[in-house]
Every structure is written in C-alpha cells, then in structure tokens.
Amino acid sequence: MDCCVTGAVIRTLREKLGMTQAELADKICVSDKTVSKWETGRGFPDVSLLEPLGSALQVSVQELLCGQAVRNMNRSSNMMKSRFHVCPACGNVLFARGDAVISCCGIQLPALEAQDPDPAHRLEIQKSEDEILVTANHSMSKDHFLSFVAYMTTDRCEIRALYPEGSADTRFLFRGSGWLFCWCNRHGLFRQRLDRRMI
C-alpha cells in the first residue's frame, strides 16, 4: 500500500470507543494477535480489511488513512459555515455543511477558500417580483468560464450549474439576505454579500 494505517491511529480510535483488541478483532474477523501486531507496528492491515476496519472504528477509510477523524461540530446547522469542493479532474461540484474529507476521481479535495470579487468576477443582481436575476460579465469560453453560481441563506443553498459557451446568467427564488458564490475555473471561488436592502 502507498498509504498505510499506523498502529497509533488504530489504537487511539479503538480506545476512544472503549473497545478491547479482542472485540475489534472479532468485528473484522481477525485474531486479537493480529490487532496487537498492527498496534505495535509489527504489521499493517491488508487493503481488503480497510473498509471493515473503518466501519468497526466508526470512521471512513479516508479518515483511517490520514489518521484524523473528521467530526462536524456545526451543531447549529448554520449553512453559512458550509464549504464547496470542486474536482479538478471531472469538474464535479461537491458541497458539505461543515468540515469533511471529500474525494472525487481518486483525489482528496481541499475546501475552496472564497475571496472577495474583483470587477471581472462581480455578480450583478436584479430583483423581479419574487426572483433575483444574477448576471456576470465573465468569459464563458471553453478555457475560461464560470462553473456554478450558488445562493446561500441561513437555511439553504441552491447551486446553478453554468456551462462553457453558455450564458453566465441564472435566476433564483429570492429568499432573503445571504451570500452569492461563483466559481471560475481559472481564478477560484468568489463570494459577495446579498442584502435585501441592496436590491
């Protein structure tokens, strides 16, 4: 294996659950001596055991390999703490309501850091009855384009996909103040405030 699960990680996760080596061994159908070997660094779990081991230790395989359990402590369900991830291989847009280990196409994806928009990435907003029209004066060529626009309020996030050689305009049902996000395939993620008093 290119990445191996360390004995310290297995022991820490097992002890957090108050589980003995024998109990863990029983859950994944190996001997307690095998678990002991892993924890003392005299051996490593076979790749075929990673999924059952992660399940028994209540973590994902990704968490098991990186040695860090990711827990979403966002107990207030505040959507404003959400994160976007974009796969550089296939362009898939993934959304999480807090910290998460996310992968796509075999790549672990870092959360995108939003920046304030420059003039080229500023979104224009017009309100029309119960909708908002969001437009961008941005290239939509095959090499340089906006991939999505998202409208986030405290209780929801709506994402509209945009496509190269298509329009950079989209509409949302107006749901009050929040944030607008757009992602440029060359320059990254941009965020701007949407206040009901602005429109």
CATH label of the domain that carries residue 127 = 2.60.40.730
Is residue 74 one of the residues assigned to a domain? no
The pLDDT assigned to 3 comes to 46
Three-state DSSP class for 156? Answer: strand
**The tokens 């949302």 sit on which residue?**
172
Residue 1 has pLDDT above 50, yes or no: no
When pLDDT is cut at 50, 70 and 90, the band that residue 198 belongs to is low
Range of the domain at 174: 119-198
126 and 55 assigned to the same domain: no
Average pLDDT over every residue of 170-179:
92
Q: What is the domain count for the chain?
A: 2
Summarize pLDDT for 100-158 with one digit per residue, the tens.
888 888 888 888 999 999 998 999 999 988 999 999 999 999 999 999 999 998 888 99
Is residue 175 one of the residues assigned to a domain? yes
Is residue 21 one of the residues assigned to a domain? yes
Summarize pLDDT for 49-96 with one digit per residue, the tens.
888 898 898 888 777 777 665 554 545 556 667 889 999 888 899 988
Beta pairing, strands 146-153 & 178-184: antiparallel
62 and 124 assigned to the same domain: no
Is residue 109 one of the residues assigned to a domain? no
C-alpha–C-alpha distance, residues 144 and 87, integer Å: 16
C-alpha–C-alpha distance, residues 101 and 83, integer Å: 11
**Nearest CA among 89, 103, 84, 87 for reference residue 151:** 84
C-alpha–C-alpha distance, residues 123 and 140, integer Å: 14
Residue 186 has pLDDT above 50, yes or no: yes
To the question of pTM greater than 0.85 for the whole model, the response is no
- Please report, for residues 4, 6, 112, the alpha-carbon distance to residue 23 in angstroms, rounded to integers and kept in the order given: 22, 19, 40
The pLDDT assigned to 74 comes to 47
Summarize pLDDT for 10-20 with one digit per residue, the tens.
898 899 899 99
